[in-house]
Amino acid sequence: MSIAPHDIADRDDIEAVVVAFYRRAFADDLLGPVFVDIARMDLAAHLPTMCDFWETVLLRTGAYRGNALRPHLQLDAEVALTPAMFERWLALWTATVEERHRGERAEHAVAQARRIAGALQRRLGASRPADDRTGAAAGG
């Protein structure tokens, strides 16, 4: 007997989504090398920060007080983060959320991810020299 997916209710739900998402992202042909080889992301160390971020977004706890742009600017300086990468990130996040949850917060998690991806792309593009902006945007 299968149980219908429920809405995102608490930090445990958020952590389960974040862990499942990063498992997919680490194994992904496009995103995996960025997370594993370039960012050298340690999921155990990064997980509390990501859970704080999404807990603040979805449950309005105020747990996250960081700057989400800063690590992306640093990473973009090492490898241009392309529109295709953001599209894949969003596709993996959306699939992960939708497989596990249904409801208002799950929909908000997907909508906010879409907004965040767009905002990061705009901010990263604005931070690149003019000759780099067109190449990165076209390379996606």
| Domains of the chain, start order | 11-138 (1.10.490.10)
Q: What is the pTM of this model?
A: 0.83
DSSP characters over the chain: -PPPPB---SHHHHHHHHHHHHHHHHH-TTTHHIIIIIS---HHHHHHHHHHHHHHHHH------S-SHHHHHHHHHHS---HHHHHHHHHHHHHHHHHHB-SHHHHHHHHHHHHHHHHHHHHHHHHS-HHHHHHHHHT-
Residuewise pLDDT in 10s, the chain (140 residues): 456 689 999 999 999 999 999 999 999 999 999 988 888 888 899 899 999 999 999 999 999 988 888 888 888 888 888 999 999 999 999 999 999 999 999 999 999 999 999 999 998 886 555 555 444 443 44
